[in-house]
């Protein structure tokens, strides 16, 4: 299948937002699932889409902004193609997740403030618990779970995902 | 009465008299309790935790959120509670921008007072937050996020009382801020500038933008003639800033202080109010004669006007075209002073002193200028005037009174009444009665209809005067009223709207007061002042008559009056500058289609047009020839859905009409009757 | 009508099961999936296909008609012993294979299924005795547990309502909906003594009764699946492994308080749970167990799923209702309680997943039997997520009253020391109850674990996280870890939690980084008390617990940080320095190569040195050194 043109993609996206809004009957109470689905579509919450959603639902844009910034799942900036979630739950922490985080930050030149690489390939997130304590330390890249990850393995994983793009 | 339910507070029995929470009961008993986030008119939030009490058998809880129960035994100021309150204040101060000496709120800061009362000396905690930039762009209000204690009073006021929601909490945990959407400036969002956020703010996080420097500058400039006007409500409250009895009406002193400060002429906005009564009544009667049965809304409140422009552009034709009294006095006096002094209008500087922050915004309105010269140059709030008087070294208490200057210094009781809610309605109704029945109304008593507690109504059925009026203050209440009017459930001839509950007397420019009951005192003072006014009716004001003859074509509603004291409105985008590009062509000169998806157009079906166009573009393969954009408001709400195709602005569109136009512009099909 | 249909379905499933030659159950919990369970599943199917063995993947459909008894290859929910996953169970032979790899698939089919042969090297070996265990019943990790709530997670196909019904599912709900009145249900629940598993341990029956007594046109049941405690995942396992048990619990709760609608609030980090719950709801609707007139009665009740958007605080009942209503998940002041005014201002019961899953179990086993499990004040069982420095990690379930000693040393197989060897003398502490809980030490090992006894020692059952720590763990760092968690999850509404937790963290950092003094500790304690007593919601009130509890149990360790400026366990980077013992160093340069900041220098075959100024104390060198030459 050929890659869709940017025009087609934008049109598709807009009709998608309307579809999402309709699916939830434009109920202001459904703002969270609506934003979740919008984010799924765009990988983040663009400002103009949020304003559009606010207008359509009859909620003030300030309130929508407040909701979008409260929940950690929502991002107002574009996220990377690969989202690396490092579990920093108790078990993973005890088993060295902070070392993994340091390794990733070094490898990808990220910091506590910068979570996404400039090429929009990787985003680093820490999560409180993936519920995979038996596999501590655990890392999830997009939907794939990696257990008992060592620093060395982490570096290899990053290289592997990078290689996919070349 | 032995059996009356009671709560024991610090060993003293306090009877329960329907108090909703322990806090109210404690305060009733004469014990002061500190709070940041409690306001009786707002919902209970319970976040500042300062009103904690020790409840026997239950431990420590906040009194604002605890309903009193018979037999409760509570303590309010145990060593432990005091220590905890001190810790809470220290925690807040750790990240507070403590430039108290230069803070606008320095004399009325609850945080500063509490820190002093609780004996806070050194803060044992570190500053952990990064500096946040202040928002200085709004003409009315400044925000300093570093001074915010996140009590949310402003957020709740803006939402619960005004129904605007211009600001809200954003982010989480230690990063929480109160901010307009997307960290924009208040100047660029829905804010109506009512300033009540600043009025309820316990610290200096939201303050009124001060214009005193500019006024001092103008006063020092010898080429300028600086004149002033003061609004009705100012006189009933300025004394508070000088430890004068709350009811002291200080008009004479104010006039004299203004002269000391260097103002050449000092006028009274109540004159403009008198003129408004005549013009607005005339406007109403003319509408009625012309068979217009729609409700007429008053226009004196600039916060309400902006609200209508943003949220109800469809109502704008129904908003009275009269300028606000501030505008009328500015318009007329600038002209007259320039004439008498043989100066250009630019060199006459009009400074108005208002109880209001929205008036600052109003002064910036394009419509309130003539040939680029603003009718009002600067707006000072009551607070700012008080500060100038102090800064000018004037001993306000001791100063001898002086009279206002003529012609714009004389006013009637009716005009003065504009300072509080229902004043405009009463004046209009009475004037209508005098003109149509040749006698005044016997009484004018606004009553609450139990079915609609949000507003008051007056029904007049007196010979030739048949009027149904609604009096509303607080915009959330007003919104309900509008909804009911639009749905046809209620109907009124005239609706008076004031954004601030209670009217201008409780405006956000008034001296800061956290005491409840202050408003009542001010209201009474204003009413008393009206009673001693020698002129009762606007039409009996001899200077009003003179100005009509001299400047306003001799009668109400004349072309001259329309030129000088009437105005127009604009529908406004709620959020500035947003278009969503949906399809962009590669061609150099594509046909650009803008579809408005603002609320009003949206409701009228603009989305169907958009999605229809989207599939049409796909279908016909127009991708390369068309730029399709969604705009947030084309400011043409009454005639939506609005679509612009190329240069052509289309209203009340349908998918068919848009497609037809696009086809014509693409040169595919010629529309009937047009030959290219 | 309801019960008759149930019996028919049960019979049908039973008949199908009897027709099977074997069933192979692959654990498809998140842990096993991460370890490659799906690859194992694929490998098994392709071998089965190759061998032309009649196969079925679910008992939902009709069995294939081939003349031969088919083989069932199914996926189960999490079986708890994630550490040795992927787990593969073979029935009716009752064989449990552990750490199965796709390469093992051929052997499993050819040897075990076709020949009836047990593959020795896939069996679990008890590390303490070295014995192989053929089935779950022989593995000490399982034998010492009492798995009731978790039982279904291992042997029920979570995506087949029939399998749930076969295991007596929906029997209790049907009976209650058709034959009992609400007050009766509340009374029975009160009598059972079931207490909420979400943390506080409030009596479930009383909670229901409170809501029942409210007069309202609408009432709601919310299932709290927003399990966010770091180190706890029992709710996820139940939702993934036995979703119908949660639905059934909710249906019973709905009848008890006359609720009209249910909401399941699930963390977004649990996509599989969301998926399974949604499928279960669909199935239950199709069967008429949810929707209008459920089980043929005139009682209407339906359930909807809401996915959280990433906010731990939404686990608090009032914050959760706010979130469901589309607002920022900030707790609100009480009263009114959620049971009086919750979702949409209507009476609302919020029950935890595990609590709800217990409900049908109680009715199925009978009140008397249930009350005999556990202690009198805390009847029943409790699941714990056992993690940390312990030989067997995973999800366990034990009766209330079981001692920590039993859990750590028997079920857990003992404490692991820094080298990863079993060394029970290296036990230092166990953190229980997550960020709201506290630390227990040696002297607490024999107290029976239940809601009330834990409170007396400053801890709480909480959500059930059990983190075992050996002597290499620094308690200041543990306190910091939990504090950092609550601090970053604070909603930011009330002053003590928003500002206080941040300052507590700063004070801990002062201690950990050598800037502390006894005054710091005093201030820290005072601040913790203020936060604990003046915060708005439970999250803030319990936030200082890990700090206070470690200060109480490990005061001398804290003291060492401020009095001697040393970290006894060498974990606080600013209080330690790394050095190389010249005599032990062989000069292999391994450490030089791993040091990310080039702080180590030295020639080959000569003793190396660490430049303390450059060293960032990342510990990479220590991990690499094969000669134990680097000391901290």
Mean pLDDT of A8-23: 74
Mean pLDDT of C1-8: 73
Q: How confident is the model at residue A9 (pLDDT cuts 50, 70, 90)?
A: low
- The residues in C 474-503 lying below 8 A from B, measured between CB atoms, are 487-496, 498-500, 502-503
Is residue C141 assigned to a domain?
A: no
Residues of C whose CB is below 8 A from B78: none
Residue-wise pLDDT tens digits, C122-159: 999 988 788 899 998 899 899 889 999 998 888 888 99
- Give the end of a domain, one of A70, A96, A118: A70
- Let me know the angle formed at the C-alpha of C544 by C543 and C550, rounded to the nearest 5 degrees: 130
Percentage of chain B surpassing pLDDT 70?
94
Residue B447 annotated to the active site: no
What is the end-to-end Cα distance of chain C in Å, rounded?
72
Residue B86 annotated to the active site: no
Mean pLDDT of C313-327: 95
Q: Say if the Cβ atoms of B149 and C495 lie within 8 Å.
A: yes
Does C458 lie in the same domain as C348? Answer: no
pLDDT score recorded for residue A2: 42
Residue B504 annotated to the active site: yes
Is residue C206 assigned to a domain?
A: yes
pLDDT score recorded for residue B580: 64
Greatest pairwise CA separation for chain B in angstroms: 96
Q: Which of B87, B176, B202 has the most C C-beta neighbours within 10 Å, making it the best mutation to test the interface with C?
A: B87
Q: How confident is the model at residue C594 (pLDDT cuts 50, 70, 90)?
A: confident
Residue-wise pLDDT tens digits, B507-531: 999 998 877 778 888 988 888 888 8
- Give the end of a domain, one of C100, C135, C170: C135
Is residue B527 assigned to a domain?
A: no
Inter-residue contact A130 to C29 (CB < 8 Å): no
Is residue A136 assigned to a domain?
A: yes
> Closest partner residue to B65 among C333, C489, C499, by Cβ?
C333
Is residue A112 assigned to a domain?
A: yes
Is residue A110 assigned to a domain?
A: yes
Catalytic entry in B90, B346, B367, B560: B367
Least confident stretch, C211-215, C292-296, C611-615: C611-615
Task: Output phi, psi for C497, to 5 deg.
Answer: -75, -45
Mean pLDDT of B659-666: 84
Is residue B1 assigned to a domain?
A: no
For residue B60, give its domain range: 6-77
Instruction: Determine which helix (DSSP H) or strand (DSSP E) holds B273, and give its type and residue range.
Output: helix B269-289
Name the 3-class secondary structure at B291. Answer: coil
- Give the end of a domain, one of B169, B188, B208: B208
- A61-70 helix and A31-42 helix, angle to the nearest 10 degrees: 70
What are the residue ranges of helices labelled H in C389-474? Answer: 404-405, 451-456
Does B629 lie in the same domain as B504? Answer: no
Q: How many beta-carbon pairs under 8 angstroms link A with B?
A: 97
Task: Output phi, psi for A84, to 5 deg.
Answer: -95, 115
Does C446 lie in the same domain as C344? Answer: no
CA dihedral of residues C511, C512, C513, C519 (deg, nearest 10)? 0
Q: How confident is the model at residue B585 (pLDDT cuts 50, 70, 90)?
A: low
Inter-residue contact C111 to C52 (CB < 8 Å): no
For residue A99, give its domain range: 82-163
Residue B454 annotated to the active site: no
Least confident stretch, A114-118, C125-129, C436-440, C516-520: C125-129
For residue A94, what is the domain's CATH number?
A: 3.40.30.10
Residues of A whose CB is below 8 A from C324: 29
A28 touches chain B (CB under 8 A): no
Residue-wise pLDDT tens digits, C209-266: 999 999 999 999 999 999 878 778 889 899 999 999 999 999 999 999 999 999 999 9
Mean pLDDT of C605-624: 84
Q: How many whole angstroms separate alpha carbon C219 and alpha carbon C222?
A: 10
Q: Say if the Cβ atoms of C333 and B92 lie within 8 Å.
A: no
Q: How many whole angstroms separate alpha carbon B463 and alpha carbon B435?
A: 12
pLDDT score recorded for residue C387: 85
Taking the CA of residue B90 and the nearest CA in chain C, the distance in Å comes to 10
For residue C121, give its domain range: 3-135
Residues of C whose CB is below 8 A from A71: 308-311, 329
C337 touches chain B (CB under 8 A): no
> Closest partner residue to B174 among C498, C527, C533, by Cβ?
C498
Residue B280 annotated to the active site: yes
pLDDT score recorded for residue A55: 83
pLDDT score recorded for residue B229: 97
As a whole number, the mean pLDDT across chain B is 90
Q: How confident is the model at residue B588 (pLDDT cuts 50, 70, 90)?
A: low
Does A138 lie in the same domain as A92? Answer: yes
Q: Say if the Cβ atoms of B149 and C311 lie within 8 Å.
A: no
Residue B100 annotated to the active site: no
Q: Say if the Cβ atoms of C328 and B94 lie within 8 Å.
A: no
Is residue B531 assigned to a domain?
A: no
Catalytic entry in B240, B362, B457, B479: B362
Among C401, C376, C389, smallest CA distance to C431 is for C389
pLDDT score recorded for residue B295: 95
Mean pLDDT of B303-326: 93
Is residue C569 assigned to a domain?
A: no
User: How high is the ipTM of this complex?
Assistant: 0.90
A10 touches chain B (CB under 8 A): yes
Residue B367 annotated to the active site: yes
Does B551 lie in the same domain as B484? Answer: yes
Q: Is the pLDDT of residue B276 over 90?
A: yes
Is residue A47 assigned to a domain?
A: yes
Q: Is the pLDDT of residue B484 over 90?
A: yes
- Give the end of a domain, one of B77, B98, B126: B77
Q: Say if the Cβ atoms of B170 and A14 lie within 8 Å.
A: no
Q: Say if the Cβ atoms of A128 and C34 lie within 8 Å.
A: no
A70 touches chain C (CB under 8 A): yes
- The residues in A 109-148 lying below 8 A from B, measured between CB atoms, are none
Q: Which residues of C210-220 are buried (b: 16+ CB within 10 A; e: fewer)?
A: bbbebebeebb
**A: neighbours with 3+ CB pairs under 8 Å?**
B, C
Q: Which of C329, C337, C502 has the most B C-beta neighbours within 10 Å, making it the best mutation to test the interface with B?
A: C502
Does C351 lie in the same domain as C264? Answer: yes
Q: Which of B64, B173, B178, B179 has the most C C-beta neighbours within 10 Å, making it the best mutation to test the interface with C?
A: B173
Q: How confident is the model at residue B576 (pLDDT cuts 50, 70, 90)?
A: very low
Give the chain C residue nearest B47 (alpha carbons).
Answer: C494
Q: Is the pLDDT of residue B672 over 60?
A: no
Q: Say if the Cβ atoms of B174 and C491 lie within 8 Å.
A: no
A64 touches chain B (CB under 8 A): yes
Paired strand residues for B412: B535
> Closest partner residue to A62 among B180, B583, B602, by Cβ?
B180
Does C412 lie in the same domain as C360? Answer: no
- Give the end of a domain, one of A70, A98, A121: A70
Instruction: Determine which helix (DSSP H) or strand (DSSP E) holds B556, and give its type and residue range.
Output: none
How many domains would you assign to chain A?
2
Q: Is the pLDDT of residue C56 over 80?
A: yes
Does B587 lie in the same domain as B556? Answer: no
Does B236 lie in the same domain as B183? Answer: no
Which residues lie below 8 Å from residue C465, measured CB to CB, with a gap of 6+? A90, C229, C230, C231, C232, C384, C385, C387, C431, C432, C433, C434, C437
Does C488 lie in the same domain as C462? Answer: no
Q: How many whole angstroms separate alpha carbon C277 and alpha carbon C279?
A: 5
pLDDT score recorded for residue B581: 65
Interface of B with A (CB under 8 A): 159, 164-172, 179-182, 189-190, 574-575, 578-585, 597-599, 602, 607, 610-611, 614, 617-618, 623, 628, 630, 632
pLDDT score recorded for residue C461: 84
Q: Say if the Cβ atoms of B92 and C495 lie within 8 Å.
A: yes
pLDDT score recorded for residue B632: 64
Among C270, C345, C354, smallest CA distance to C33 is for C270
Give the chain B residue nearest C499 (alpha carbons).
Answer: B91
B42 touches chain C (CB under 8 A): no
Is residue C148 assigned to a domain?
A: no
What are the residue ranges of helices labelled H in C513-571? Answer: 518-534, 538-542, 545-553, 555-559
Residues of B whose CB is below 8 A from C491: 172-173, 176
Does B279 lie in the same domain as B377? Answer: yes
Is residue A1 assigned to a domain?
A: no
**B: neighbours with 3+ CB pairs under 8 Å?**
A, C
Taking the CA of residue A112 and the nearest CA in chain B, the distance in Å comes to 14
Does A116 lie in the same domain as A145? Answer: yes
Does B230 lie in the same domain as B132? Answer: no
Residues of C whose CB is below 8 A from A146: 34
> Closest partner residue to A69 among B171, B582, B614, by Cβ?
B171
Q: Say if the Cβ atoms of C335 and B128 lie within 8 Å.
A: no
pLDDT score recorded for residue A4: 43
For residue C31, what is the domain's CATH number?
A: 3.40.30.10
Residue-wise pLDDT tens digits, B330-373: 999 999 999 999 999 999 999 999 999 999 999 999 999 988 89
Does B97 lie in the same domain as B67? Answer: no
């Amino acid at each position: 299948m050929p890659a869709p043109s940017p025009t087609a993609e934008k049109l598709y996206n807009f009709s998608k937002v309307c579809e999402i809004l309709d699916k939830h009957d434009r109920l202001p109470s459904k703002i969270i699932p609506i934003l979740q689905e919008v984010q799924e579509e765009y990988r983040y919450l663009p400002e103009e889409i949020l304003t559009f959603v606010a207008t359509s639902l009859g909620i003030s844009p300030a309130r929508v902004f407040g909701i979008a910034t409260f929940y950690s799942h929502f991002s107002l900036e574009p996220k990377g193609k690969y989202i690396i979630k490092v579990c920093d739950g108790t078990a993973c922490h005890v088993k060295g997740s902070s070392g993994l985080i340091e390794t990733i930050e070094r490898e990808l030149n990220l910091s506590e403030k910068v979570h996404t690489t400039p090429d929009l390939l990787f985003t680093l997130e820490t999560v409180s618990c993936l519920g995979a304590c038996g596999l501590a330390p655990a890392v999830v890249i997009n939907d794939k779970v990696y257990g008992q990850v060592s620093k060395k393995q982490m570096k290899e994983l990053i290289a592997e995902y990078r290689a996919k793009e070349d | 009465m032995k059996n009356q339910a009671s709560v024991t507070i610090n060993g003293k029995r306090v009877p329960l008299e329907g108090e909703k929470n322990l806090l109210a009961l404690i305060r009733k008993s004469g014990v002061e309790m500190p709070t940041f986030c409690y306001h009786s008119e707002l919902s209970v939030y319970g976040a500042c935790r300062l009103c904690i009490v020790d409840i026997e058998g239950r431990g420590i809880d906040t009194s604002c959120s605890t309903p009193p129960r018979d037999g409760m035994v509570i303590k309010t100021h145990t060593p432990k509670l005091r220590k905890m309150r001190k810790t809470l204040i220290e925690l807040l101060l750790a990240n507070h921008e403590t430039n108290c000496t230069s803070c606008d709120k320095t004399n009325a800061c609850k945080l500063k007072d509490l820190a002093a009362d609780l004996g806070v000396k050194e803060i044992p905690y570190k500053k952990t937050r990064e500096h946040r930039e202040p928002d200085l762009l709004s003409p009315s209000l400044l925000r300093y996020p570093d001074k915010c204690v996140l009590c949310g009073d402003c957020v709740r006021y803006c939402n619960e009382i005004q129904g605007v929601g211009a600001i809200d909490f954003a982010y989480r945990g230690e990063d929480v801020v109160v901010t307009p959407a997307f960290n924009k400036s208040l100047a660029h969002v829905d804010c109506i500038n009512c300033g009540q956020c600043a009025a309820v703010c316990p610290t200096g996080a939201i303050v009124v933008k001060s214009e005193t420097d500019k006024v001092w500058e103008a006063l020092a400039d010898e080429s300028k003639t600086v004149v002033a006007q003061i609004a009705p409500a100012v006189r009933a409250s300025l004394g508070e800033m000088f430890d004068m009895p709350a009811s002291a009406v200080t008009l004479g002193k104010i006039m004299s202080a203004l002269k000391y400060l260097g103002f050449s002429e000092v006028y009274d906005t109540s004159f403009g109010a008198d003129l408004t009564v005549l013009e607005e009544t005339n406007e109403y009667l003319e509408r009625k004669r012309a068979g217009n049965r729609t409700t007429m809304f008053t226009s004196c409140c600039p916060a309400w006007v902006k609200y209508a422009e943003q949220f109800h552009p469809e109502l704008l034709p129904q908003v009275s075209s009269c300028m606000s009294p501030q505008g009328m006095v500015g318009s007329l006096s600038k002209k007259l002073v320039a004439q008498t002094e043989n100066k250009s209008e630019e060199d006459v500087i009009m400074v108005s002193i208002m109880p209001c922050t929205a008036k600052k915004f109003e002064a910036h309105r394009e419509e309130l200028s003539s040939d680029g010269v603003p009718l009002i140059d600067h707006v000072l709030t009551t607070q700012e005037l008080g500060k100038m008087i102090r800064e000018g070294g004037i001993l306000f208490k001791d100063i001898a009174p002086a009279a206002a200057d003529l012609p714009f210094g004389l006013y009637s009781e009716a005009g003065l009444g504009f300072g509080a809610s229902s004043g405009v309605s009463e004046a209009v109704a009475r004037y209508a009665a005098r003109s149509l029945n040749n006698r005044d109304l016997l009484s004018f008593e606004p009553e609450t209809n139990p079915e609609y507690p949000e507003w008051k109504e007056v029904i007049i059925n007196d010979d030739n005067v048949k009027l149904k009026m609604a009096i509303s203050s607080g915009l959330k209440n007003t919104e309900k009223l509008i909804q009911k009017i639009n749905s046809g459930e209620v109907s009124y001839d005239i609706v008076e709207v004031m954004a601030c509950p209670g009217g201008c007397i409780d405006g956000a420019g008034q001296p800061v007061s956290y005491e409840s009951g202050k408003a009542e005192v001010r209201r009474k003072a204003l009413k008393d002042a009206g009673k001693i006014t020698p002129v009762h009716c606007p039409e009996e004001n001899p200077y009003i008559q003179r100005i009509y003859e001299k400047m306003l074509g001799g009668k109400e509603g004349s072309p001259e009056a329309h030129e000088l004291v009437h105005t127009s409105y604009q529908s406004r985008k709620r959020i500035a500058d947003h278009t969503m590009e949906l399809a962009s062509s590669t061609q150099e000169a594509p046909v650009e289609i803008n579809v408005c998806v603002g609320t009003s157009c949206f409701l009228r079906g603009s989305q169907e047009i958009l999605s229809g166009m989207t599939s049409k573009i796909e279908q016909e393969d127009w991708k390369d020839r068309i730029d399709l954009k969604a705009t947030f408001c084309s400011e043409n709400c009454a005639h939506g859905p609005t679509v612009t195709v190329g240069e052509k602005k289309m209203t009340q569109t349908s998918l068919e009409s848009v497609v037809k136009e696009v086809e014509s512009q693409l040169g595919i099909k010629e529309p009937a009757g047009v030959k290219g | 009508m309801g019960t008759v249909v149930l019996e028919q379905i049960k019979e049908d499933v039973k008949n199908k099961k009897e027709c099977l030659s074997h069933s192979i159950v692959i654990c498809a919990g998140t842990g096993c999936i991460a370890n490659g369970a799906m690859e194992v599943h694929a490998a098994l199917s392709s071998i089965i296909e190759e061998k032309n063995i009649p196969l079925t993947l679910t008992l939902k459909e009709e069995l294939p008609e081939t003349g031969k008894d088919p083989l069932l290859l199914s996926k189960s929910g999490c079986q708890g012993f994630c550490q040795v996953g992927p787990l593969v169970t073979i029935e009716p032979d009752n064989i449990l294979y552990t750490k199965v790899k796709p390469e093992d698939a051929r052997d499993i089919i050819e040897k075990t299924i076709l020949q009836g042969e047990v593959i020795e090297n896939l069996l679990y070996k008890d590390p303490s005795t070295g014995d192989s265990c053929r089935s779950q019943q022989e593995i000490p990790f399982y034998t010492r547990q009492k798995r009731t709530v978790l039982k279904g997670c291992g042997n029920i196909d979570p995506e087949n309502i029939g399998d749930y019904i076969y295991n007596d599912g929906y029997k209790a709900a049907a009976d209650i909906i058709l034959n009992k009145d609400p007050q009766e249900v509340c009374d029975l629940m009160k009598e059972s003594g079931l207490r909420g598993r979400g943390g506080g341990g409030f009596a479930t029956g009383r909670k229901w009764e409170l809501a029942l007594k409210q007069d309202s046109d609408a009432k709601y049941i919310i299932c709290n699946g927003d399990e966010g405690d770091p180190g706890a995942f029992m709710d996820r396992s139940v939702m993934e492994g036995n979703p119908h048990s949660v639905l059934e619990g909710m249906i019973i709760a709905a009848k008890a308080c006359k609720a009209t609608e249910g909401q399941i609030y699930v963390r977004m980090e649990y996509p599989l749970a969301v998926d399974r719950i949604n499928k279960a709801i669909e199935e239950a609707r199709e069967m008429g167990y949810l929707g209008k007139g459920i089980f043929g009665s005139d009682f209407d009740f339906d359930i909807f799923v809401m996915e959280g958007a990433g906010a731990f605080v939404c686990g608090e009942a009032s914050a959760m209702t706010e979130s469901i209503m589309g607002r920022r998940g900030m707790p609100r002041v009480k009263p009114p309680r959620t049971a009086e005014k919750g979702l949409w201002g209507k009476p609302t019961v919020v029950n935890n997943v595990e609590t709800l899953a217990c409900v049908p179990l109680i009715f199925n086993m009978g009140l008397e039997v249930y009350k005999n499990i556990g202690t009198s004040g805390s009847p029943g069982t409790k699941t714990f997520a056992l993690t940390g420095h312990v030989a067997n990690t995973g999800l366990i379930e034990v009766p209330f009253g079981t001692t920590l000693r039993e859990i750590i040393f028997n079920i857990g197989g003992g404490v692991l020391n820094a080298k990863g060897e079993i060394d029970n003398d290296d036990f230092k502490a166990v953190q229980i109850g997550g960020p709201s809980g506290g630390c227990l030490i040696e002297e607490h090992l024999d107290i029976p674990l239940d809601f009330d006894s834990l409170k007396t020692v400053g801890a709480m059952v909480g959500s059930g996280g059990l983190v075992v720590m050996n002597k290499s763990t620094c308690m200041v760092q543990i306190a910091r870890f939990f504090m950092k968690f609550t601090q970053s999850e604070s909603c930011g509404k009330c002053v003590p939690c928003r500002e206080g937790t941040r300052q507590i963290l700063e004070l801990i950092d002062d201690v950990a980084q050598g800037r502390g003094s006894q005054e710091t500790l005093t201030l820290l304690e005072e601040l913790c008390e203020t936060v604990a007593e003046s915060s708005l919601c439970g999250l803030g009130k319990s936030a200082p617990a890990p700090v206070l509890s470690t200060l109480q149990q490990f005061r001398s360790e804290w003291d060492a940080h401020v009095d001697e400026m040393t970290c006894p366990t060498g974990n606080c980077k600013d209080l330690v320095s790394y050095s190389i013992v010249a005599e032990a160093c062989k000069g292999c340069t391994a450490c030089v190569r791993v040091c990310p900041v080039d702080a180590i220098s030295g020639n080959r075959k000569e003793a190396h040195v660490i430049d303390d100024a450059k060293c960032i104390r990342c510990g990479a060198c220590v991990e690499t050194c094969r000669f134990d030459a680097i000391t901290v």
